[in-house]
């Protein structure tokens, strides 16, 4: 007898199925994600539960170095396999949509999280290799006026597993769709969100990326960008293991910067710069200062002179980024001759300066263009 011919049994079947789904979902949400664990967390768990001493290194190697999805049950003891299957969730954020630039080889991913929220991640190509631009929050509370993410407001912080998961699934997408190109050499926290506003999750994600047992990415290959959130910088100076720092500077004048980055009213640029100056740097390490050039707003020789004056003598590197338009943006990209003149002024201060070429702007993947609300949270 089929279900349709027996409506009562069919209703019962559907109820049971729904309850099963709820149970599965509950289990999924209650279990801690494996990808929230640093290597030292994993070692501590293995030791506390009397699991074989090699369990942590085997698991980290399998999931982060080999980047395998399936659990490696046959490579660890049966008791360890049973323990991790019962206690931990191995799911990662799912790729919902992939946008591939026709202009260059940039790729933007829209990731769907367990609670339905969505975030974007970008692979930025250079010579058949990639940098990855990771998001740290769903939306952003900073409300910068030149940034499409700022327009969508703040929903929540991402977990470490949701940050690490962007990297792992972008890598897998490359391995499947561009075999031989699965080389992500740099990680920049410049996607959606203010990373230092989600300090703990970002710090742990950095620890996971740096671990020699896993992806083993060098400190000099990871950059965390901030709008100048001093409470996060305070923790950064004490706790973060030597990865690079970038400051979204965008104007050397407090009034203009207030308009671009509202938290400048609370944490003014001169205090932020003083704070950054006190952070110890490694030999040959520098702080990157990001400067978005906006037509007839901050692209004059006066702006360049003042910028050069406040950064001269620091271990500084300037990225000049011609503004990338987004729907309803109030600003416009600068004329090219103004960009070149701006750089020429900075060159007189002998500060290394790069004009950054926009990548993926045809799919709204360039700097300042991310907005997962525009296509549904
Ligand atoms: S520029 Fe960065 S800090 Fe500012 S709103 Fe955009 S994502 Fe947030």
- Which residues are known to be catalytic? 120, 367
Q: From the CA of 228, how far away is ligand 1's center (Å)?
A: 11
pLDDT value at residue 70: 75
C-alpha 252/C-alpha 269 separation (Å) is 8
Distance 152 CA to ligand 1 centre (A): 10
CA 274, 279, 283, 286: dihedral to nearest 10 degrees? Answer: -50
Alpha carbon of 277 to ligand 1 centroid (Å): 22
Task: Give residue 15's pLDDT band: very low, low, confident or very high (50, 70, 90).
Answer: very low
Is the pLDDT assigned to residue 363 strictly greater than 70? yes
Element (H, E) at 244: strand 244-248
Taking Cα atoms as reference points, which of 40, 76, 331, 29 lies closest to residue 211? 40
- Return the percentage of the chain with pLDDT > 90, whole number: 69
Of the given ranges (16-25, 172-181, 191-200, 298-307), which has the lowest mean pLDDT? 16-25
Give Cβ neighbours of residue 116 (< 8 Å, ≥ 6 apart).
377
Distance 144 CA to ligand 1 centre (A): 6
CA of 126 to the centre of ligand 1 (A): 24
Atom of ligand 1 nearest to the CA of 140: 8
Pocket test of ligand 1: the residue of 121, 150, 226, 247 to mutate, having most ligand atoms within 8 Å of its CB, is: 150
**Average pLDDT, integer, range 170-184:** 94
Instruction: Kindly give the distance from the C-alpha atom of residue 149 to the centroid of ligand 1, in angstroms, as a whole number.
Output: 6
Ligand 1 mutation pick, 122, 141, 144, max ligand atoms within 8 A of CB: 144
Q: Which atom of ligand 1 is nearest to the CA of 146?
A: 1
Which atom, in ligand 1's list, is nearest to the CA of 137?
Answer: 7
Report whether pLDDT(268) > 70.
yes
Q: Which CATH number, 2.60.40.10, 3.40.50.1820, 3.40.50.150, 3.20.20.70, labels domain 94-363?
A: 3.20.20.70
Of 38, 148, 60, 132, nearest to 359 by C-alpha is: 132
Ligand 1 neighbours by CB, cut-off 6 Å: 140, 142-144, 147, 149-150, 192-194, 227, 248
To test ligand 1's pocket by mutation, which of 133, 140, 154, 319 has the most ligand atoms within 8 angstroms of CB?
140
What is the number of the ligand 1 atom nearest to the C-alpha of 192?
7
Residue 328's pLDDT band, with cuts at 50, 70 and 90, is: confident
Position 3 confidence tier, pLDDT thresholds 50, 70, 90 = very low
Torsion sign across C-alpha atoms 220, 221, 227, 233: negative
Nearest alpha-carbon partner for 223 in 140, 291, 288: 288
Average pLDDT over residues 286-296: 96
Above 70 in pLDDT, residue 192?
yes
| Atom in ligand 1 nearest the alpha carbon of residue 150 | 5
The winner for highest mean pLDDT among 22-36, 156-170, 238-252 is: 156-170
Give the range among 166-170, 191-195, 368-372 with minimum mean pLDDT: 368-372
Q: What is the mean pLDDT of residues 342-370?
A: 88
277: pLDDT confidence band, cut at 50, 70 and 90? very high
Minimal-distance CA residue to ligand 1 atom 3: 194
Tens of pLDDT, residue by residue over 30-84, are 789 999 999 999 999 999 999 887 999 999 999 999 888 777 777 888 888 899 9
CA distance to 104, 220, 285, 357, per residue, from 126 (Å) = 10, 17, 22, 11
| Mean pLDDT, residues 135-162 taken together | 93
How confident is residue 374, by pLDDT bands cut at 50, 70 and 90? low
Residue with the larger pLDDT of the pair 25 and 65? 65
Give the residues across from 156 on adjacent strands. Answer: 138
């Amino acid at each position: 007898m089929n279900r349709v011919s027996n409506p009562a049994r069919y209703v019962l079947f559907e109820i049971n199925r729904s309850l099963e789904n709820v149970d599965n979902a509950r289990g999924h949400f209650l279990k801690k994600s494996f990808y929230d664990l640093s290597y030292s967390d994993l070692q501590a768990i293995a030791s506390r539960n009397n699991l074989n001493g090699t369990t942590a290194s085997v698991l980290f190697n399998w999931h982060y170095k080999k980047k395998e999805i399936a659990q490696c049950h046959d490579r660890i003891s049966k008791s360890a396999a049973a323990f991790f299957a019962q206690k931990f969730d191995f799911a990662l954020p799912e790729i919902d949509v992939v946008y591939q630039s026709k202009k260059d080889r940039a790729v933007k991913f829209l990731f769907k999280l367990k609670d339905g929220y969505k975030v974007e991640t970008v692979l930025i190509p250079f010579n058949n290799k990639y940098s990855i631009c990771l998001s740290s929050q769903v939306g952003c509370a900073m409300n910068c006026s030149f940034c499409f993410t700022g327009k969508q407001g703040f929903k929540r912080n991402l977990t470490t597993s949701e940050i690490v998961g962007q990297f792992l699934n972008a890598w897998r997408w490359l391995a499947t769709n561009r075999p031989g190109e699965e080389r992500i050499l740099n990680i920049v926290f410049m996607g959606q969100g203010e990373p230092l506003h989600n300090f703990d999750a970002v710090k742990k994600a950095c620890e996971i990326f740096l671990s020699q047992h896993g992806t083993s990415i060098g400190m000099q290959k990871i950059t965390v960008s901030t709008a100048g959130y001093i409470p996060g910088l305070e923790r950064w100076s004490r706790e973060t293991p030597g990865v690079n720092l970038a400051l979204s500077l965008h104007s050397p004048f407090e009034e203009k910067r207030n308009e671009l980055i509202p938290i400048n009213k609370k944490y003014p640029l001169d205090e932020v710069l003083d704070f950054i100056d006190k952070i110890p740097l490694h030999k040959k390490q520098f702080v990157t200062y990001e400067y978005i050039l906006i037509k007839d707003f901050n692209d004059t020789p006066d702006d360049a002179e003042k910028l050069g004056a406040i950064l001269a003598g620091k271990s500084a590197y300037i990225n000049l980024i011609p503004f990338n338009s987004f729907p309803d943006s109030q600003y416009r990209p600068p004329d090219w001759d103004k960009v070149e003149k701006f750089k020429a002024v900075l060159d007189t201060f002998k500060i290394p300066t790069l004009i950054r070429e926009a990548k993926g702007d045809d799919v709204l993947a360039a700097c300042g263009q991310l907005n997962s609300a525009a296509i549904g949270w």
